[in-house]
A and B are shown apart, each in its own frame.
Chain A
Amino acid sequence: MHAKRTHTFFPCVGRHCALALAAALLPLGAQAAEPEAVPDTLEWTVPFGVGGGTDVWARFMSHWMGEALLSHPTIVIDNVPGGGSITGTNLFYARADADGSQMLVTSASTQFPAMLDDPRVRYDYAKWTPIIAAPTGGVVYAQPGYGKDTDTILAALRESPTKFAMQTPTGLEMPVLLAFDLLGLKVEPVFGMRSRGEGRLAFERGEAGVDFQTTSAYFSNVAPLVEAGKAVPLFSLGVMNADNVIERDPAFPDLPTFSELYLAQPGHSRDDIAYQVFHKFFASGYALQKLLLVPKDTPPALIKAYRQAAATLPEREDFLTAARNQVGPYTPVVGEVAAKQLDSAMQLSDARRQWVIDWLKSRYGVRVSTR
């Protein structure tokens, strides 16, 4: 399984086109002309504790970004955990200097509360500019007792209720829960897991009938279960192409995506408000799962220098090989493309927000407090 893992690299077609476009737009000779002004020390605020997924990504990226910038600045990681990343992000928003020395690393759990108008959120993504973003995909899998292929399992799950172990109602798994509901599956969430890993343990113990993992966690911990016949993959969430359309995940070309399954049902279309809500949260939580941002007022020359450095990374085979461990076989999104995607992902209309809140309340009895 391990050997297979290291050779599974499928270039993401849509994203590659976007990158080629972005690269073409860069002025020639960009590599050599890094402005003098890049500070000697860059401080990256990570609003999560040490050792978590976002922290590991930040440390990984700081190594490569430090190498890609010509002056090789020292990059210091400052962990400010608390409030599910809201505390540290609020602090960064209130205090960070826009002199190019300060950057922020955020994740789905920073983005979702902002979309839902969580009363604790004081930050505004419109005031930040992305340098590089890492997408991830994810796979839903089920106990083998429900069947051997997607269709029979879906049919079984529509009949018999099953459990799904989640962290919080508005966390990373929320789009997955929505996906279950939109497919008409009788999935009941059980909240309070401290990590996705604990959720997977609940599945392995047989307490949960279905589970979900992001791509890298799926490869390291679920693929062996699938091989041993203890889990059956059901569907993937897919990946977003440059036109904001969800397509098959290059890491799981044989698995249908949720979107395919949903749209195949009679009377369903992309215009359904429920599907659009899924699409928004998928874009913000998965297509842009980890983000490296600077304050918008950072000198344009520096932003350009950072983005150029970031743009060299997806061209390096050694970076891509190493990145596969962190997020799976997905090419990072850089610069303007990331900015455009971020803008569209983070804007949730009032009607859609209200839809989410009503859905959580009526369907699962969960009250979400908003401003």
Chain B
Amino acid sequence: MIDALMTSLGEVFSGAHLLYMGFGVLVGLLVGIIPGLGGIAGMALLLPFLYGMSPGLALGMLMGMVAVIPTGDTFTSVLLGIPGSSASQATVMDGFPLAKKGQAARALASAFLSSLCGGVIGAVVLTGFILVARPLVLAFSSAELFVLTLLGLAMVAVLSGESQFKGMAACGLGLLLGAIGTAPATGEFRLNLDVGYLYDGIPLIVVGLAIFALPEIIDLLIQRGSIARERTSLGHGWRQGIRDVVDNRGLVAKCAGMGSLIGTIPGLAGSVVDWLTYAFASRTAKGEKHFGQGDIRGVIAPESANNACACGAMVPTLLFGVPGSGTAAIFLGGLLLLGLEPGVSMISTHLDLTYTIIWSLALANILGAALCLVLARPVAQLTRIPFVLLAPVITTLILFAAYQATRSLGDWYTLLAVGAVGVLFKRAGWSRPAFLIGFVLAPGAETYFYQSVQFQGMSAFLRPGVLIILGMIALALLLPLLKRLLSRRQPLAVGAEVTSPQQPPAVPTFGRVDALLVVGLLLLAAASWYDISGLSFLGGIFPRLAITIMAVGAALSALEAWRRGARWEAQPLGAPLLWLVGLLGLVVLASMLGFVSAATLMAFAFLRGVARARWSTALAIAAGIAAFLLGMQALLSLHYPSGWLDALIGI
């Protein structure tokens, strides 16, 4: 092992290797920064170059890219509130509020430094682990995977804030949306309304954009400020961010450890890791907590985890040829193109290459984070630009990103439909993370439950691993309850808690958006119950469960408000809906004129008409949008929705 380690170190630090890895890092940063393009697009960019390259160099290039994507997408998560990929969804929770407070540089610096640490820790864990990981990965049967998804779902309780019932309803809706498509047990189609687009289920990236990015943008448009409303100097920001990471080094180490271990389990997507560590951080953090409103620990935790997770995902990919994540799946394809076959033989015959992969991963993490740190300050200046000028750029980016999911117009209409739900949720304070976690975990929860019962019967739930994880779930749910009980008995502790700003208002609030959501969800429950009535027992049991959770949650939230005499809250809805309609208009126009023309024209019209920008500014931004779209088209051989105007110009 030491021998292979040294050989690979020599290889990694050779000039050619560094050169190719640097190239991979640059591509990774580019696709990371542009939302919607994840590892999949990056690999598509690099795969054609692989032929004829020596495996060591090619692996360096691929790993350079794989390592940096979860670093680069932090830019849009923090600065624009757009989750760049599924790995950065939790980063949005606190990163974007920090940017709004004028602390974008601090958030970015923390994020990049913790990414760096996470990546290096992940690589170190991987180094020794790769030799002994086989039994551990094999120990995770479908039963353990199922209870792990339950652990993820338990985090909903942590993240749904003041109203547990609203969180429950939101999670139920997420689960139901995640059940659209085919039933894993029987292959039956369900809830797809005979729409071709829905046969495959809704893509995660579209839901992520819709639920987080759209409502934020619409709110910003209504307020028309720059993203950073408090103009604190960016100068201290990044030193402060580095200090934050140093202060929270324990958290970084723990989250990186969790990330790399969860990453090794094939089948659990990387998108779970950031939520798990986010919830872990918000639960265990000491002192004042502002999670969801700009707590730096809410950035540090998921960012240290997601790079470590990318390292961990290499374990099943290299050892079993079973990819641990979407990016790893494409990496696997790259290996096959290079003539390398992942499997046990990677350790016996290609141990040096295996370590080249791991060390490239570590080095690329350092390189990528360093590059991002250098870029952080200039890029953070973006937040000082008045938002109305940025709005068309961001809107185009979101439409571009959503369209990359399946490249059908369905992506846009789904974006708008789920976006409307996101707007309502944001208005009424319903937990959007709870919804997203439900959606992310729905397919896994159903498949693993079905598989573990089929494979092992009821004894599946008596396995030691399962019992341990079930114990963790109980602990996560019961511990705060116990704490509250204990603190009630000690009047001193109560006094201490009252002073903390965390304390939620005792009386729940209710408004017309809440009413709309409760009625809407109950109607949806009835309609979808009717829709799945023809399914077999196995195909229908999971959506029925989701519907029940959603309906009971919605009903209880209304009941709670009524019984506890909720304060009626004004929840204005007109303005956001108007913007949504405007966006719908843009989408329709884009499908008629063609995306490139429509986006360019609309941007120009918006900048002149709404933002009252100067001619030169409006022209420059519109031209930039067109150049970006056309450039991406050429680079990635993309097809946009084309209409008569695009055809006329010959795009």
Name A's B-contacting residues (CB within 8 A).
1-2, 43, 49-52, 55-56, 59-60, 63, 76-84, 87, 120, 163, 165, 168-170, 188, 190-192, 194-195, 197-198, 200-202, 204-205, 207-208, 216-217, 219-221, 224, 322, 325-326, 365-369
Contacts and interface: CB of A to CB of B under 8 A. Distances in A.
Contacts of A326: 336
B267 A205 contact: no
B320 interface: yes
B322 A163 contact: no
Nearest to B327: A51
A345 B633 CA distance: 38
A62 to B, nearest CB: 9
Interface in B439-456: 447, 450-451, 454-456
B266 A220 contact: no
A90 B342 CA distance: 33
B44 interface: yes
A261 to B, nearest CB: 26
Given A191-B185, A221-B341, 11 more contacts: A49-B329, A50-B333, A51-B43, A52-B329, A82-B200, A84-B200, A191-B186, A192-B450, A198-B266, A219-B341, A325-B336
B313 to A, nearest CB: 13
A190 B536 contact: no
A82 B406 contact: yes
B637 interface: yes
Given A195-B322, A220-B345, A87 B406 contact: yes
A115 to B, nearest CB: 16
10 contacts: A50-B43, A63-B51, A83-B196, A87-B408, A163-B455, A207-B456, A220-B342, A322-B339, A366-B186, A369-B188
B185 A192 contact: yes
Contacts of B339: 322, 325
Given A83-B200, A202-B455, A170 B187 contact: yes
Given A198-B267, A221-B320, A224-B343, A369 B349 contact: no
Contact of B189 (A190, A220, A369): A369
A198 B322 contact: yes
Nearest to B189: A369
A192 B322 contact: no
Interface of B: 40, 43-44, 47-48, 51, 137-139, 141-142, 182, 184-189, 196, 199-200, 266-267, 320-323, 329-334, 336-337, 339, 341-345, 349, 406-408, 447, 450-451, 454-456, 536, 637, 639
Q: Which 6 A-B pairs have the closest CB atoms?
A: A51-B333, A51-B330, A192-B184, A220-B341, A197-B322, A207-B455
A1 B186 contact: no
Contacts of B331: 51
B47 A50 contact: yes
Contacts of A217: 321
Central interface residue in B182, B321, B336, B407, by most chain A CB within 10 Å: B336
A224 B330 contact: no
A152 B451 CA distance: 28
Given A194-B267, A204-B138, A49 B196 contact: no
Nearest to A66: B51
B186 A120 contact: no
Nearest to A228: B344
B186 A169 contact: yes
A52 to B, nearest CB: 7
Contacts of A365: 186, 536
Given A192-B185, A194-B267, A79 B44 contact: yes
Contacts of B184: 191-192
